Amino acid sequence: MAYSFAGRTISKVGVIGSGQIGPDIALHFAKVLAPSGVSVVVVDVSAEALAAGEKKLHKKVDRGVESRAFKPEQGEGIKGAVTFTQSYDELKGVDLVVEAATENAELKGRIFRQVEGLANEGALLLSNSSHLQPEKIFTTLADKSRAGVVHYFFPAERNRGLEIVPGADTDPEHTRWLLRFYEEIGKAPIQVGSRYGYAIDPLFEGLLQTAALLVEQGVGTVKEVDTVARKVLGLGVGPFTAHNLTGGNPITAHGLSILHDEVNAWFQPPASLQAKVEADELWDTPKRGEEITVSPEKEQQIGDALRATFWGLCCEVIDSGITTVSDLEMCVEIALVLDPPFASMNDYGVKEAYELVKAFAAKFEGFPVAKCLAEQSAKGDWPISYVTREDHDGVAVLTIRRPKVLNALNAAVFKELGDHADAIAADDNVIGAVITGFGTKAFVSGADVGFLAECESPEQGETTCLASQAPLNKIEALSKPVVCALNGLAFGGGNELAMSCHARIAKSGLKVLAGQPEANLGILPGAGGTQRLPRIVGFEAAAKMLRTGRPISGKEALEVGLIREEVDGDLVAAAVDLVRKAAAGEVELKRVPAGALSDVPESLPEVELGHLSTAVDELLCRAVLEGAKLPLAKGLELEAKLWGEGVNLEDFRIGINNFLEKGPRSKAEFVNR
């Protein structure tokens, strides 16, 4: 057995190093690849490190079984797939290697010289370095085209952040494959140019530098700075706590020294950090449940310094050209569990952020004031893209990429979709398009509920719906074929977007694929769900989905005609192929009927509403039945009007507030009015 994806087959993976992160990398590979029969070999020269690594991996798997994240047989399968050994010979025939040894270029080079002769021809050789450029790691490798850096983040088996850093000699095809492969196995990778520290670690280490300097200058204690950092930056844990958890003090102290020489003179290890490293001590951080009170004046001073550091360093990374605003935005939020930098600057005010950074730079010699920040401060908000486009020989592949919220739609995404539709229509080099979602869990999980909660009047609700419908109508109206590749669940606005495409295909075996859960929130579908769904699957199947909010599986979606087929293997490639065939006239894609329907029933089939609002259901049934008697365009206008009417219902606020306060699994206590 083996794992095959996009033209490459993997039967054995090697992980070199059984220290802090190697066993976690091995665990992630085993979780996703063991079901395909892939074996994972962890090699280390230290028997003690191997024993500790195996114990750590088994403990995490057992914990997963206890929490029911894995079934017992899955847990045993994961543990059984991983071998810990001192013998490099066990790497013979390996197809992919990730080295996770000490951060030393000479040591890493020796390891890869040995591994190169053991691995299969064409195997990918990757280093989990956190700082070192590929050109310095792989200097003596015979075939540098298959080598590069993949930088994991703590904890590697759960943190989806990943930097992929190709070297000057890395084959671009290998880089493209790695980006797709890691996305396919659950990561959120970005490509980063080769520079010491890459894009993310200078931020992580720079924040600790400022935090330590604030403590040294008496601005606040370690506990106070950690507490304020969590509040103003949205950190899961403060910078001191993060370094305690990851054992990162020595790496950061060394990293700041090299960053000083290779990136910016401001970087340098503070005296307090060096003292912690020399004494092998941890920071005195807040204990679990400990309440730390910080005065407003002190909080302002600490917060301003941390914000300026964060935003200033993010902009310096953009100035360096090693990544983009949108890629850095996504990776920072996921890898470091931080507020997204450019969106947070937009909220704060880009001009105000620029002034904050300049003031900080005036106090701390050498701190960078990025050119891009100065320029953007005069323009307004940072432009952040959430929909990427990549052309595959005439087929435009649009990917909705908001993994933190399972690709949920908001006003910005709707606008981008409309803009892309316009660009595709005008591009003579494009024969059609594919729309898909980033990652493996969701195509689109729905619309941001906060975005809908802003509607306070029927007029505002109607306007919001019409604005959401407009880009989907553009997609539907394209003369070029558009195929939706459902890589995961499509709920609410996600299913509505999928239905605006000319055909839908889905990854095989999805137990939960499509749903219109709006009734659970006390609202109607507002982006075409009440109009397109009956026209695609018929009134009976549509009524069940719309009125109960219950989702259907991929198999059920195929049976009722919501999707065209289920796909094993490369879903996007299958969608691109379908677009090509449709554009060539080899297959016909069944578009949603634009006219009024002739077989409209007097009423919809009875369903069990349970706790759901009868007042909302009444509006929903009106939208379906009255809209079906109209041309599709008029039916969509009716849907928007009725959605707006729903804003006046008590159940609208009850449902929305319940979702925002208690989450999607909590049943709202509707009053049916």
Kindly list the domain boundaries of the chain, sorted by start residue: 3-191, 201-377, 387-662
**3-191 to CATH, choices 3.20.20.140, 3.40.50.720, 3.30.70.330, 1.20.140.10:** 3.40.50.720
- Consecutive sets of 10 residues in the chain, 673 residues long: mean pLDDT of each? 92 96 97 96 97 97 94 96 97 97 94 95 96 96 96 96 98 97 97 98 97 97 96 94 91 96 96 96 92 95 98 98 98 95 98 98 95 97 97 97 94 96 98 97 90 86 94 98 98 97 97 96 95 97 96 97 95 97 96 94 92 95 97 97 94 91 88 93
Tokens of 474: 């553009």
Helix (H) or strand (E) holding 417, with range, is helix 411-426
Decide: 576 and 515 in contact? Cβ < 8 Å: no
- Decide: residue 166, CB within 10 A, 0-12 exposed, 13-18 middle, 19+ buried: buried
Residue 621's pLDDT is: 96
Which residue shows structure tokens 């700075």? 225
* ∠ CA 29-32-36, rounded to 5°: 105
Residue 1's pLDDT is: 77
Distance of alpha carbon 72 from the chain centroid? 29
Helix (H) or strand (E) holding 204, with range, is helix 201-216
The β-bridge relationship of strands 82-85 and 3-5 is unpaired
Distance CA 317, CA 311 (A): 10
Long-range contacts of 460-466 (CB under 8 A, 24+ apart): 460/644, 460/647, 461/526, 461/640, 461/643, 461/644, 461/645, 461/646, 461/647, 462/640, 462/641, 462/643, 462/644, 463/644, 464/526, 465/526, 465/527, 465/639, 465/640, 465/643, 465/644, 466/637, 466/640
Residue 569's pLDDT is: 87
Q: What is the CATH number of domain 387-662?
A: 3.90.226.10
> Does residue 496 have an active-site annotation?
yes
At 316, the amino acid letter reads E
Which ranges constitute the DSSP H helices of 524-586?
A: 529-537, 539-548, 554-560, 571-583
Q: Give the predicted TM-score (pTM) of the model.
A: 0.93
Using alpha carbons, list the distances in angstroms from residue 17 to 45, 99, 139, 151, 365.
8, 6, 20, 14, 39
Distance of alpha carbon 140 from the chain centroid? 35
Distance of alpha carbon 542 from the chain centroid? 31
Q: Which of 496, 566, 637, 639 is catalytic?
A: 496
Distance CA 79, CA 278 (A): 37
Neighbours of 151 (CB within 10 A): 25
Which ranges constitute the DSSP H helices of 234-295?
A: 239-246, 249-262, 271-279
Tokens of 302: 């600490």
> Does residue 216 have an active-site annotation?
no
Decide: 214 and 283 in contact? Cβ < 8 Å: no
The CATH architecture one would assign to domain 201-377 is Orthogonal Bundle (1.10)
The β-bridge relationship of strands 432-437 and 395-400 is parallel
Residue 492's pLDDT is: 96
Q: Which of 205, 518, 566, 637 is catalytic?
A: 518
